[in-house]
Amino acid sequence: MPTIAEVDGTRIMMFPFDHDPPHVHAFGADFRVNLAVSDARVLETRGTIGPAVMRRLRLWVLRHRSRLSQLWMDARRGNPITRIEE
């Protein structure tokens, strides 16, 4: 599962050939959260994530949703998933 970015020490990853809806996986020291690409809604969470960290992750997804959508389509076609550089 390639890391596509890091946000405040949280790894943002995307699986090739993952299930719908399009989403990213965010892994922190004490949590894991899946966020929808379309609107950054929380699809699944495990562990404890603070509200400030969640807010930053959701804002990051919203700010990059166009690129994330493109990466999702590329991944579904079997193309390499590249990093999002800030």
Residues 36-64: tens digit of each pLDDT: 999 999 999 999 999 999 999 999 999 99
Of all residues in the chain, the percent with pLDDT exceeding 70 is 99
pTM, two decimals, is 0.94
- Angstrom distance (rounded) from CA 53 to CA 70: 25
Show the 3-state SS of the chain. CCEEEEECCEEEECCCCCCCCCEEEEECCCEEEEEECCCCCEEEEEECCCHHHHHHHHHHHHHCHHHHHHHHHHHHCCCCCCCCCC
Rg, Å, the chain Cα set = 12
Mean pLDDT along residues 21-25: 97
- If pLDDT is split at 50, 70 and 90, which confidence band does 17 have? confident
pLDDT for position 50: 94
User: From the CB of residue 74, how many other CB atoms can be counted at a distance below 10 Å?
Assistant: 15
Extents of the domains making up the chain: 3-76
- If pLDDT is split at 50, 70 and 90, which confidence band does 1 have? low
